[in-house]
Amino acid sequence: MIGIYGGTFNPVHYGHLRTALEVKELFELEQLRLIPCRLPPHRDEPEVPAEIRLQMLEAAVADTPGFSVDRRELDRAGPSYMVETLQSLREELGREVSLLLFIGADAFAGLAGWYQWQHLFDYAHVVVMTRPGFSGQALPEFLQQRCARTGEQLRRQAAGYLYFQEVTALAISATEIRQLLAVGHNPQFLLPDSVIALIRRYQLYQAPIHYTGN
C-alpha cells in the first residue's frame, strides 16, 4: 500500500509529520508520498513560492525512511486538483496497488466542494485522519456505501473505500507559526530545525515593512 498526503505545507511542521508517521506505521505502508500543492483550489495562493515549500518539505523528511516528496503538482499548470494527482499516480503505479489518500477531518467536512470529488474513489481509498472525540457527521448515501469497517479491507482492494482513523492530535498550526515568525518569535520545537534554517535563509514569513514616506 502507498499513502498520499497532500497540502500546502506552508510551512511543514510537526503536526503534519507526526500524523504522517503514525498512518505510515498503522497501515504498514510501503511508502508515504508527501505532495506539496502548487496552487490550492479553495484558498489563496501561498505567499511562499512552491519550490521553497518543496525544499522545506524535503529537508523535513530527508532522514525518515519510507517518506518521499512528490513534486507532480508543482509541474502541472492550473489549480492543483487532487483527483488529477491521483489519476496520474494510478497511471504510473498501475491498477493493482492500493492507494490511500489521507485527509484531515476539516478537509473531509468540505469534501463535497472538491473538484470531481466522487472520482477520488476511482483511484484511491480516502482515509480521514480524526482526532480523539471526533463525532463524525451524517454521511450521504454515496459515502455510506463506501465505508470500510477494518483497515484490512483497504489492503484487499486498490481503491474505493472510505475509512476513519484516529491519530494523535498535536495542536500546531501553520497559520500560528507564520504569526509567530511575523512578530520575531522563535518557532523552535514546532517544526524541524532544518525547516527553520531554510525559513531564516530565505527570510520567510516576516512582517511586511510599511513605508510612510517623507
Write down the pLDDT at residue 35: 98
The amino acid at residue 55 is Q
Write down the pLDDT at residue 210: 42
Please provide the average confidence, as pLDDT, over all residues in the chain: 92
Domains of the chain by residue range: 2-171
Q: How confident is the model at residue 133 (pLDDT cuts 50, 70, 90)?
A: confident
Task: Sort 82 into a burial class: Cβ within 10 Å, 0-12 / 13-18 / 19+.
Answer: buried
Q: How confident is the model at residue 132 (pLDDT cuts 50, 70, 90)?
A: confident
Q: How confident is the model at residue 138 (pLDDT cuts 50, 70, 90)?
A: confident
Q: How confident is the model at residue 207 (pLDDT cuts 50, 70, 90)?
A: confident
Write down the pLDDT at residue 136: 67
Task: Note the pLDDT tens digit of each residue in 6-41.
Answer: 999 999 999 999 999 999 999 999 999 999 999 998
Task: Note the pLDDT tens digit of each residue in 46-64.
Answer: 999 999 999 999 999 999 9
Residues in Cβ contact with 17 at an 8 Å cutoff, skipping those fewer than 6 apart: 60, 61, 64, 192
pTM of the predicted structure, to 2 decimals: 0.92
The amino acid at residue 205 is Y
Q: What percent of the chain has pLDDT over 90?
A: 84
In the predicted structure, residue 111 carries a pLDDT above the cut 70: yes
2-171 maps to CATH 3.40.50.620? yes
